[in-house]
Amino acid sequence: MRNITRLARLLAIPLVLAALLSDFLSPGAPNLLDLSQFYAPPSHIHFWDARGSFHWRPFVYRLRLIESQDASYQEQNDQIFPLEFFCEGYRYQFLGLIPASRHLLGTQTAGVFHPWGTDELGRDVLARTLAGARSSMLVLLFGIALYFTLGLAVGAFAGVGGGWIDAVLMRLSEFVLALPALYLVLAVRALLPSQMPFWQTAFLTAGTIACVAWPPMARGVRGLILQIKNACYVEAARALGASRWHIFRRHMLPALAPFALAQTAVAAPVFILGEVILSFLNVGFNDSGASWGAMLHNLMRDPRVLTDFSWNLAPLGFVFATLFCLNSFSRQLRAKEPSQLA
Amino acid sequence: MRILTVILKRVLQLAVLALLVTSASFLLSSLIPGDFFSAQELDPTIRRQTIDQIRHRYGLDQPLLVQYGRWLGRCVQLDLGDSLFYQRPVRGIVLDALAKTLWMGIPALLLGMLGGIFLGAMHALNRNNFFGLALDLLSTVALALPTLVLGLGALLLAAHTHWFPLGSMGSASLQDPRFLAWFADRIHHLLLPVACLTLPILAYVERIQCAALIDLLNAPYVRAARARGLAQRHIFLHYQLRPSLNPILSTSGPLLGSILSGSLVLEVIFAWPGLGQVTLNALFSRDLSLVIGCVVGSTILLVAGNLLADILLLTLDPRTRVAGGAI
């Protein structure tokens, strides 16, 4: 069990790096179309050219489509494209702040080197997968922020408010818990416009999932508040004339924080999985805002992807790895929870 | 007596849930601009008056409250209205789709519960040897595998080995008129989706069952029974296994909800025309009465599952039959 956690921690580092440095790591732009290169296989890296002479710098050949029916390609070995580290490429913002145009590995000419092949519109799979990591990370960050705020707020209102507020909020949470989660998410999603800009999609997808996921957090927070409510120090504060808000902020929040943070971490995988499923069902990110789910949705249209163009399944591995990491962290936290609460 | 109370409680719960869900759906749908015929407005060959006439015929030009009142009135007579997309009564569509979802869901639930209870018991009895360790590892992996990854992985397997068909409920080209051939074909199509749906349930049930049984392995009354010289087999079956079923039966209600969610994804992957697919289509085509019908269908399924779990719990665990007993 400890080894699994260690493995998850090791795996999380490259995943976070992939999300943060996605533009730097990708050899080409994620949305660059090249219809002459659809379903192109991953580039072969060569050291010896067609005449048999050895090159110290590895290189790739450009691919030429020979049969568009089954997308078979042939390498054109008349011109070599040497691979370069820190190669000049498309412009982007490094870490979203610094304008840059260098990429870890690439060729001088854009659209030749596809380390993981291309999809049905000739877009680079590696670049799209990395951009998908960024989208997922964004949804995760928005999601846990919303979950934390919403759950804490509802729980606090119910616990501190008491009376009918408590009754209404708790019946509402039971109602949400009683229904199948995915159907509920779809129903909430149906309220939103089907096409949205990238940032709006990320925020609203996270919001949609948070709308359905909040009850466990709110119920936990409420339960804790009901315990603390009768503690002597709260009673003393009340006797001294402190307002409810002051008591909540000074005396209850510090006691709630460990539970709320742990519960948020426990819910984190839900947001990644939710985003992937929504995009897969074509109601999350659309095709242009690269996301793992949207990439997987594209390949549902063409069963040949499963057998002949299987490099398009790369996002599947990333989804699994990310969920594995988050699940093992959340299990670790769940094991710790009782001692943290004490 | 207790069983009657439980049934009554669940039926009441169903009524309240259905009322809440349907009124919420109606309210939410009023917030979205446009309706089923909005797409036709863009078509220059259809006159505006024609669309207005159609709207009037289906009552879509009425205020929301009137629409809801009419819908409720018909709902009491078990009529859920007509689907605008399929041009058929919603009740028939939903029942059809529900049957198809259950065709996949019930085998998965049965296999998952029975297999999970068996494996959980094996795990609890062998928790210190290699077998237990292997089960622990397997269930950890199975719990981490989301249905989406599992389903696409299974599809990959089917595409490469040709052992299984690539989705859908049965072969359209089946020529053999015999029932057995039809049934075998259905089962062949069923294997992969059921396997994908079963695995997470299996792992979940195994976990809970194992933990519940470990708590009872050295309970005082078990030691007392052993001291009285009862057979190990008798102790295990009657003193340990039976009471240990309580946690898993009381959590199996929500499990049905997770099956519904899981089967939605699997239905899309395996082109299975069940409730999930119908709901998605209804959402995309803005077919309001069908969306609500689907929601009602899934709510009924959930409540029925909870009711079944309650009844099982009452029959299997006598502790719950006492007034005020935990249920």
Domains (range + CATH), chain A: 43-113 (no CATH), 129-341 (1.10.3720.10)
In the block, residue with structure tokens 């008349």? A78
| Chain A interface includes B21 (CB < 8 A) | yes
Q: Is the pLDDT of residue B33 over 70?
A: no
Q: Is the pLDDT of residue A342 over 50?
A: no
Residue A194: closest CA among B318, B294, B280? B280
| Chain B interface includes A242 (CB < 8 A) | no
- pTM for the structure as a whole: 0.83
**Measured between beta carbons, which residues in chain A are less than 8 angstroms from residue B264?**
182-183
Write the pLDDT tens digit of every residue in A166-189.
Answer: 988 988 888 888 777 887 788 777
Binding-face residues of A in 178-217 toward B, CB within 8 A? 178-183, 186-188, 190-191
Write the pLDDT tens digit of every residue in A135-147.
Answer: 999 999 999 999 9
Distance between CA A273 and CA A212 in Å, rounded?
Answer: 14
Contacts by A136-141, CB closer than 8 A, 24 or more apart: A136/A19, A136/A272, A136/A275, A136/A276, A136/A291, A136/A292, A136/A322, A137/A16, A137/A19, A137/A20, A138/A202, A139/A202, A139/A205, A139/A206, A139/A271, A139/A272, A139/A274, A139/A275, A140/A206, A140/A268, A140/A271, A140/A272, A140/A275
Torsion sign across C-alpha atoms A101, A105, A107, A110: negative
Which pLDDT value is given to residue A110? 80
B18, amino acid identity: A
Which stretch of DSSP H or E encloses residue B185?
A: helix B179-217
Write the pLDDT tens digit of every residue in B220-268.
Answer: 999 999 999 999 899 988 888 888 888 888 877 767 777 888 888 899 8
Q: Which residue of A has its CA nearest to B285?
A: A190
| Chain B interface includes A280 (CB < 8 A) | yes
Torsion, Cα B151 B157 B158 B163, to 10 degrees, reads: -130
Structure tokens at A334: 């769940």
Q: What are phi and psi of A96, to 5 degrees?
A: 75, 5
Distances in Å between the Cα of A38 and the Cα atoms of A60, A79, A102, A121 are: 18, 21, 25, 5
Q: What are phi and psi of B252, to 5 degrees?
A: -75, -15
Distance between CA A329 and CA A323 in Å, rounded?
Answer: 10
Which pLDDT value is given to residue B1? 62
Residue B136 · residue B142 · CB < 8 Å: no
The pLDDT of B160-184, averaged and rounded, is 78
- B261–A191 C-beta distance less than 8 A: no
Best mutation target among A136, A176, A182, A276 (most B Cβ atoms within 10 Å) is A182
| Chain A interface includes B101 (CB < 8 A) | no
Residue predicted with more confidence, A162 or B257 = A162
Residue predicted with more confidence, A95 or B208 = B208
| Chain B interface includes A328 (CB < 8 A) | yes
Kindly report the number of other CB atoms within 10 A of residue A112's CB atom.
Answer: 21
Distance between CA B110 and CA B115 in Å, rounded?
Answer: 8
In this prediction, what percent of chain A has a pLDDT beyond 70? 97
Q: Which residue of B has its CA nearest to A325?
A: B144
Which pLDDT value is given to residue B323? 58
Distance between CA B188 and CA B234 in Å, rounded?
Answer: 39
**Measured between beta carbons, which residues in chain B are less than 8 angstroms from residue A181?**
257-258, 261
| Chain A interface includes B30 (CB < 8 A) | no
| Chain A interface includes B32 (CB < 8 A) | yes
Distance between CA B90 and CA B257 in Å, rounded?
Answer: 22
- B120: three-class secondary structure by DSSP: helix
The pLDDT of B195-207, averaged and rounded, is 90
| Chain A interface includes B64 (CB < 8 A) | no
The pLDDT of B140-165, averaged and rounded, is 84
Residue B195 · residue B154 · CB < 8 Å: yes
Distance between CA B98 and CA B294 in Å, rounded?
Answer: 9
Structure tokens at A122: 């000739």
| Chain B interface includes A177 (CB < 8 A) | yes
pLDDT category at A152 given cuts 50, 70, 90 is very high
Write the pLDDT tens digit of every residue in B55-104.
Answer: 777 777 777 788 788 878 877 777 777 777 888 888 889 899 989 998 88
Distance between CA B93 and CA B175 in Å, rounded?
Answer: 27
Residue B22 · residue B295 · CB < 8 Å: yes
pLDDT category at A272 given cuts 50, 70, 90 is very high
Write the pLDDT tens digit of every residue in A25-50.
Answer: 888 888 888 888 888 888 888 888 87
Residue B290: closest CA among B86, B19, B90? B90
Distance between CA B314 and CA A242 in Å, rounded?
Answer: 49
Distances in Å between the Cα of B132 and the Cα atoms of A243, B209, B217, B235, B242 are: 55, 13, 15, 21, 21
Residue A24 · residue A106 · CB < 8 Å: no
Q: How far is B310 from chain A (nearest CA, A)?
A: 15
Which among A175, A300, A327 is the nearest to B144, CB-wise? Answer: A327
Q: How far is A185 from chain B (nearest CA, A)?
A: 10
Which among B17, B149, B254 is the nearest to A319, CB-wise? Answer: B149
Write the pLDDT tens digit of every residue in A120-132.
Answer: 888 889 999 999 9
Distance between CA B25 and CA B254 in Å, rounded?
Answer: 22
- A328–B152 C-beta distance less than 8 A: no
**Measured between beta carbons, which residues in chain B are less than 8 angstroms from residue A283?**
283
E-strand stretches of A95-130:
98-106
- A175–B298 C-beta distance less than 8 A: no
- A74: three-class secondary structure by DSSP: strand
Q: How far is B195 from chain A (nearest CA, A)?
A: 18
Distance between CA A260 and CA A254 in Å, rounded?
Answer: 10
Which among A191, A310, A324 is the nearest to B32, CB-wise? Answer: A191
- A186–B17 C-beta distance less than 8 A: no
What residues contact residue A67 under an 8 Å CB cut-off, 6+ apart? none
| Chain A interface includes B240 (CB < 8 A) | no
Distance between CA B318 and CA B268 in Å, rounded?
Answer: 42
Distance between CA B203 and CA B143 in Å, rounded?
Answer: 6
Distance between CA A142 and CA A129 in Å, rounded?
Answer: 20
Which pLDDT value is given to residue A271? 93
**Measured between beta carbons, which residues in chain B are less than 8 angstroms from residue A313?**
152, 156
Which stretch of DSSP H or E encloses residue A225?
A: helix A215-229
| Chain B interface includes A175 (CB < 8 A) | yes
**Measured between beta carbons, which residues in chain A are less than 8 angstroms from residue B263?**
none
Q: Is the pLDDT of residue B27 over 80?
A: no
**Measured between beta carbons, which residues in chain B are less than 8 angstroms from residue A281?**
265, 268, 280
B228, amino acid identity: R
| Chain B interface includes A279 (CB < 8 A) | no
Residue A32: closest CA among A136, A126, A137? A126
Best mutation target among B149, B255, B291 (most A Cβ atoms within 10 Å) is B149
| Chain A interface includes B160 (CB < 8 A) | yes
Residue B24: closest CA among A214, A137, A300, A191? A191
B283, amino acid identity: L
Distance between CA B282 and CA B214 in Å, rounded?
Answer: 47
Residue A221 · residue A151 · CB < 8 Å: yes
